[in-house]
Structure 1
Amino acid sequence: MAFSQDDTVEQALTRCLSTFQGDEKAAVYAKLTEHVIAALRENSRTKGVEALINLQDQLHLARRMGHYVKEANMVEAITGNMRTNESFSLQSMLPLVQSEQSDDFKEMIKMMQKADLESRPYEFLNTADEEDMTVNIKVPASTQMKDVTVKLTATKIRVEVKGHEVQPCIIDGALFKPVDTSGCDHHLEGSGEKRILVLDLTKQTNGLKWPDLLTYGA
């Protein structure tokens, strides 16, 4: 998809919506884009920005996998302007995409991405050379194994923890690649503020570093 600097934000988002609606795997992106446009049309800026941030996060993984790169860059630029410029709106002209942005703006985007990553409810660790992967999830200090439910197949995962601030589940989606369930397990470690649920996962195929635990569109 080609965007024009003569487009307004609304026109660009509408183009993104049309693209997402043509791809079954992008249904979640289409729904979020619809929410963004509807909220901003209704002058509900807070809800619109929240939906934009959610859409940006979803597209970030897709971009790392080579999907919707232009759309992800555009949404990222729009989100950055919405969060830093109160006068920026659907009627504003399309902002510069990342490749055309100033160094200061690029640095701001990096800081926002870092903050978004740190706000995730889990830490995902893996390398290309190792088949073993680890997911660390901070849990309440009182958490016991009876409070934990992990439903895992070769291609999907769902994690629930009673008393956790993220409900009804902390993780729920399709895995980036299949895992060997016979080599997977989970346990609790630490105490107090350092209490964590550790998921030990094993790749079915080694030699690839996963960009994230879940696949794009999950």
Structure 2
Amino acid sequence: MASADSVQQALEKFADTFQRHEKAGDLAKLTRHVLSLLGDADTRARGVETLIQLQDQLHIARRLGNFVEEANAVEAIAGRMRTDDAYCLDSPLPMVQAEQSDEMKALIKQMQEADLQSRPYEFLNTADSEEMTVNISVPAETQMKDVSVKLSATKIRVEIKGHEMQPCIIDGSFFQAVDPAGCDHHLEGSGAKRMLVIDLEKKQNGLKWPDLLGYGAM
């Protein structure tokens, strides 16, 4: 990525990079959607919102050690877009520091920890077990009829009636494939400790997942 690139040129390069990656096709689609929306003044606001969605997905990828340069650049672009209405696709790409200061690294670590704490679920897994568990706190009155868990080998969507997060608690692509036949869910506990427990089974053992969901989920 050249320092003289415009925002449009940079995003187009990112889309091409994502497209070449076997697990980042959704990132490529989202990036091209951003370009389409930002290219029209009437849809700029929606474009900025979609750009922030792309930024959030790239934050996940960056935590896994992927697309670090792209994540940093999109973060800088989104920051300028949100604060400067004149900043557009033809504008030059913001400068992104190649190396982070200790203060910035500490800030990023705090943001990552806050991100983990703000998630609506607890994810438990180890490298030496094919079984994984997702725990979700639910309203005390929740019954199985209030719960919808739809999953395939690659995707999961969880809806819970009465939960503060609507329309869904989880909606995205797994970090890696699971075996749907080995997955199940149930409710346990009562009152403030009422919980939906989702049991998952990895298709490939020997790897500790960094998170339930992979990057690029839309």
Normalised by the shorter chain, which TM-score bucket?
0.7 to 0.9
Matched with 2:5 is 7
Q: How many residues align?
A: 213
The 1:86/1:155 distance shift into structure 2, 3 A limit, reads: closer
SS in structure 1 at match of 2:83: coil
Q: Distance in 1 between matches of 2:106 and 2:55?
A: 17
Task: Give matches, 1:134-213, under 5 Å.
Answer: 134-213=133-212
What CA distance in whole angstroms lies between the structure 2 residues aligned with 1:82 and 1:194? Answer: 43
Letter in 1 for 2:210: P
Q: Distance in 1 between matches of 2:130 and 2:151?
A: 17
Residue 107 (structure 1) shift: 3.1
In structure 2, distance between residues paired with 1:194 and 1:45: 44
Q: In structure 2, what is the equivalent of residue 32 of structure 1? A: 30
CA distance 1:194–1:41, shift in 2 (3 Å):
farther
Measure how far apart 1:55 and its partner are. 0.9
Q: 1:100 is paired with a residue of what secondary structure?
A: coil
Distance (Å, rounded) in 1 between the aligned partners of 2:178 and 2:22:
24
Q: How far, CA to CA, are the matches of 1:22 and 1:179 in structure 2?
A: 24
Partner of 1:96, secondary structure, is coil
Q: Is the 8 A contact 1:49 1:82 kept in 2?
A: no
Percent identity between the aligned chains?
A: 62
Residues 66-101 of structure 1 show CA distances to partners (whole Å, capped at 9, x for unaligned) of 65343223223444x449x8359443542224x423
In structure 1, stretches of 5+ residues that fail to align are none
Q: Normalization by structure 2: what TM-score?
A: 0.73
Q: What amino acid sits opposite 1:124 in the alignment? A: F
- Residues 113 and 7 of structure 1: CA distance in aligned 2, closer, same or farther (over 3 Å): farther
Q: Which amino acid aligns with 1:16?
A: F
Report the Cα distance in structure 1 between the residues aligned to 2:83 and 2:5, rounded to whole angstroms.
Answer: 19
Q: Could you list the per-position Cα deviations for residues 81-137 of structure 1 after superposition, in whole angstroms to 9, with x for gaps in the alignment?
A: 449x8359443542224x423333333333333334433332222121232211122
- TM-score normalised per structure 1: 0.73
In structure 1, the partner of 2:73 is 74
CA RMSD after TM alignment: 3.5
1:178-211 C-alpha deviation (Å, 9 max, x unpaired): 3344543222234444432111222233210012
CA distance in 2, matches of 1:53, 1:108: 19
